[in-house]
Amino acid sequence: MRKQSARTAALVLCILSYLLVGAAVFDALESEAESGRKRLLAQKRSELRRKYGFSAEDYRELERLALQAEPHRAGSQWKFAGSFYFAITVITTIGYGHAAPGTDSGKAFCMFYALLGIPLTLVTFQSLGERLNALVRRLLLAAKRCLGLRRPRVSPENMAAAGLLACAATLALGAAAFAHFEGWTFFHAYYYCFITLTTIGFGDFVALQNDGALQRKPPYVAFSFLYILLGLTVIGAFLNLVVLRFLAAAADAPERAARPPRRGAPESRGPAQRAGRIAISCRLHPLELCARDNPGFSPPASPGAGGGGRAGRPPARRKSI
């Protein structure tokens, strides 16, 4: 039990220090620019006020109106296409915020929609991602065979490299497309794709907001939706490959640790049955686990070792059954 708690504590400390480091770096990078922008804004504001003779309240009202007009400038956000876009941002947790429900009923529905939608989406993307990984594995195996390698095997490193390449390619493709369609620089479009596909979704860059694209450019709209969903699949596949085992590991570990104390407990069955049980389990299922926790029983390491070396064991186990 203690190992898991230690691991958790280490992770928490790691995250806290990561936050502190990030804060320091972002501060160094951005606060200068921020104060510069603020000064520029104040300057422009006073110029405008002088030029047109706005009072303080009038100007504040104007500012508020300008802010409110922003989403409307981008076109109708809540017709079907816009709402579909919004629904995507909800269940994938991207959440640009370029459009957010204004009515209370919209907010309430949004919450229930997310409640069911987010877990469903998580599971779906992981499922899709796993299938994608299986396909890639098969393709790599076929490719290796074609290349005439004697014993083609796809190692985890191969898969990780393929996954990384796929992610980079997805981002680059999206960057090229959105740079062209939205008129952003390649770097900004890449940044947009990255922030979108990691589901951060700042909303500083949002596609489909220019020229009423949501209503007037259905092929581009379709492309954007497809890109987001496919891109999330690719990222999900990579996460499934690399990260999921650590999420699941966090869940597994305590059972392993809890086992030894239980085995010694007086309420358990007799030693023969216990041994038999464990032996059966280990024999049937070559788990590293069993090897670690039951030094007396080593799982069959290979098909060959399984039959011969264990000849003496089966009778004993049979008895316990």
Q: Which of residues 90-129 bind another protein (CB under 8 A)?
A: 90, 93-97, 100, 104, 107, 110-111, 114, 118-119, 122-123, 126-127
Element (H, E) at 32: helix 2-52
Which residue in the set 56, 69, 146, 265 belongs to the binding site for another protein (CB under 8 A)?
Answer: 265
User: How many helical (H) and strand (E) elements, i.e. helices and strands, does the chain have?
Assistant: 13, 0
Alpha carbons 296 and 299: distance in angstroms, whole number: 10
Site for another protein in 24-43 (CB under 8 A): 25-27, 29-31, 33-34, 37
Instruction: Work out whether 149 is an interface residue with another protein (CB under 8 A).
Output: no
Residue 48 and residue 54 in contact, taking contact as beta carbons nearer than 8 Å: yes
Judged by CB, which is closer to another protein: 35, or 218? Answer: 35
Nearer to another protein, 66 or 250 (CB): 250
Which one of 174-182, 191-199, 213-221, 224-232 is the stretch in contact with another protein (CB under 8 A)? 191-199
Residue 242 burial (C-beta neighbours within 10 Å; 0-12, 13-18, 19+): middle
Residue 287, interface with another protein (CB under 8 A)? Answer: yes
Handedness of CA 39, 41, 42, 43 (dihedral sign): positive
Is 215 a binding residue for another protein by CB under 8 A? The answer is no
Give me the residue label for tokens 């191969």. 158
CA-CA distance, 107 to 115, in Å (whole number)? 12
Closest separation in Å from C-beta 12 to another protein: 6
- Interface residues for another protein in 230-259 (CB under 8 A)? 239-240, 242-244, 246-252, 254-256, 258-259
- Does residue 57 interact with another protein by CB under 8 A? no
83 binds another protein (CB under 8 A): no
CB environment 161-170: b (16+ within 10 A), e (fewer): ebbeebbeeb
Does 271 engage in binding with another protein (CB under 8 A)?
A: no
Considering the complex, state which of residue 222 and residue 258 has its C-beta at the smaller distance from another protein: 258
Q: How far is the CB of 131 from another protein (least distance, A)?
A: 7
Judge contact between 95 and 206, C-beta under 8 A: no
Strand positions, DSSP E, the chain: none
Kindly tell me which of 160 and 222 has the beta carbon lying closer to another protein.
160
The residue behind tokens 């985890």 is 156
